[in-house]
Amino acid sequence: MFAVTLWVKICGLTTDEGIAAAVAAGADAVGFVFAPSKRQVTAQRAAELARSVPSHVTRVAVMQHPAQALLDEVWAIFRPDVLQTDAEDLESLIVPADLAVMPVLRAGRVRSGSLPQRFLFEGPVSGAGEAADWNAAAELARQSQLVLAGGLNPANVADAVRRVRPFGVDVSSGVEREPGIKDAAKIAQFIRAARSSTPAPLSE
């Protein structure tokens, strides 16, 4: 399955300049990190940053093994469109009915059985800049809407799209000039490279 127009998320945004750059470059979604990270923001800060995000751009709350209290606080103050967290987290969290979810499945830990309709696939550690298993991702992308993350940057995203044929791609550290600070030129280059690539033919 391959999106006619590749879905692109710029994650780990911490500044108004980063938000503006992502929107101007044509990102479909922006991510705000609430897990321990150099890119971590508070619910209040995310709400402030999101004020300039147009309604057609999806606002994603990115978590990992969150307590229910954190989810409740982020929902009350920030009101994201989507919750992104590890699939196993969703088994114990009480997620508001109006909040969509994008489960995170990690290389080497994908459970057997049916896949979510849309999910994010990455390596063992989030935000580390490590590439996911593209071969495994390609197999999963044939079955559902896979958003590829992990180790992507302007130089390799076109190759990743050709090989994996994902529904979308997600980038954070690959478009930064320093940890937590996005680079507008890299964001534009990343999105341009991702959407200009041609997926490789599916093997028989």
Query: What CATH number does residue 97 fall under?
Result: 3.20.20.70
Query: 144 to each of 105, 118, 120, 148, how far by Cα in Å?
Result: 12, 6, 11, 12
Q: What is the pLDDT of residue 203?
A: 47
Residue 202 domain flag: no
Residue 203 domain flag: no
Banded model confidence at residue 204, pLDDT cuts 50, 70, 90: very low
Q: What is the pLDDT of residue 112?
A: 57
Q: What is the pLDDT of residue 124?
A: 67
Reply yes or no on whether the pLDDT at 109 is more than 80: no
Domain count, the chain: 1
Return the residue matching tokens 């044509």.
26
Q: Is 117 exposed, middle or buried (0-12, 13-18, 19+ CB in 10 A)?
A: exposed
Average pLDDT in the chain:
91
Query: What is the sign, positive or negative, of the torsion defined by CA atoms of 11, 15, 16, 18?
Result: negative
Per residue in 19-65, pLDDT (tens digit) is 999 999 999 999 999 999 999 999 999 999 999 999 999 999 999 99
Range of the domain at 77: 7-196
Residue 64 domain flag: yes
What number is the average pLDDT over the span 149-167?
96
Reply yes or no on whether the pLDDT at 117 is more than 60: yes
Q: Which residues pair with 103 in a beta bridge?
A: 85
Q: Are 177 and 183 in contact (CB under 8 A)?
A: yes
Reply yes or no on whether the pLDDT at 202 is more than 60: no
Q: Which of 128, 117, 96, 120 is nearest to 31 (CA)?
A: 120
Residue 1 domain flag: no
Residue 204 domain flag: no
Residue 176 domain flag: yes
Q: What is the pLDDT of residue 200?
A: 52
Distance CA 161, CA 198 (A): 7
